Amino acid sequence: MPRWTHKLSLDDCTKFLVLIGQRVLNKELIENGNIPVYSANVFEPFGYVNKLLIQDFSVDSVLWGIDGDWLVSFMPKDNPFYPTDHCGVLRCKTDQVNPRYLAHLLESEGKKMGFSRNYRASIDRVKGITFSVPDITEQNKVVAEVREIEVKIADAEKQLKALQGKTAEILNKYLR
């Protein structure tokens, strides 16, 4: 299987875009805002606003937390979000790298580098990551397999939540 190496770098702007967001203060958050704000926890919004920092959401994004535990998430295209200064954004400008594959790769490489609260995943450190990927067909196969598992996990989590609710319901009925 052919392999090639790319260095994630702002200098390699033909293949990748790497950026961080801007600070958002609590007083700027809007209770019924439309745009989720992501900070170091790239899985759960910090809050909501009605403004955008990034204007184009026609491509997928990979988010990583800069100041906390090493967290990486995938944000599908057409999902506007606002990254804070504790959230990095990585986008592919090449069709030779599957962004979902890149998210998993970035997570793995960050763990190898020891990114953590004490060793921050700054934009310069992330830009310094060099990685190899198989051809796009192989990446797409891997991503398809991972998606199947993620769907099963999501279904299992829904079932678990429903069962926990039923458990609470039964206990409340008899403990009254």
Q: What is the pLDDT of residues 59-98, one digit of tens each?
A: 999 999 998 899 999 999 999 999 999 999 999 998 889 9
- pLDDT over 90 (residue 100): yes
Predicted local confidence at residue 5, as pLDDT: 55
What is the model's pLDDT at position 70?
95
Q: Give the confidence band of 144 by pLDDT, cuts at 50, 70, 90.
A: very high
pTM for the full predicted model: 0.84
Q: What whole-number distance in Å separates Cα of residue 15 and Cα of residue 10? A: 9
Question: Mind listing the pLDDT tens digit for each residue in 117-133?
Answer: 999 999 989 988 888 88
Q: Tell me whether strands 72-75 and 61-65 are parallel, antiparallel or unpaired.
A: antiparallel
